Amino acid sequence: MVTGFIYSAFLLYLLSHFADKVAWICLMILMVFFAGGSGLMFMMNNNTHDAVAGNANSQRVFGKSAYAMYWIGYYLEFGAISFAIITVIYFCIIFRNFKHIKTAI
């Protein structure tokens, strides 16, 4: 019981000094994940197109047919574009409302 009190007091002390930095780091990590997800989906889409074209260095997903690979590529392209749009919107919201977010944090 005493150690729990000590740990909670220590946690409150750390959060009181570094809470704004932790919040900003979390916001930036979220934006990096959106951008990284978009980039990953674009790379997977390129690999899918290479596999359909017969490139020896690319593999088909679970041995699917070319028709299924086209659809997988379309879904990946849609997801990549969606994540890119979300990244741009998120970036605009963060830096357009910087003053309000800084006040909230």
How much is the pLDDT for 69?
76
Q: How is residue 63 annotated by DSSP?
A: G
Distance CA 49, CA 70 (A): 7
* pLDDT over 70 (residue 5): yes
Q: Which residue has the higher pLDDT, 34 or 12?
A: 34
Distance CA 5, CA 56 (A): 61
* pLDDT over 70 (residue 29): yes
The overall average pLDDT reported for the chain is 78
* pLDDT over 70 (residue 105): no
In our burial notation (b when 16+ CB lie closer than 10 A, e otherwise), range 35-54 reads bebbeebbebbebbbebbee
* pLDDT over 80 (residue 2): no
How much is the pLDDT for 60?
58
How much is the pLDDT for 10?
77
Give residue-wise pLDDT tens across range 31-81: 888 888 898 888 888 887 777 776 666 665 556 676 777 788 888 889 899
- Alpha carbons within 13 angstroms on the beta-carbon side of residue 68 total 6
Phi, psi (deg, nearest 5) at residue 28: -70, -35
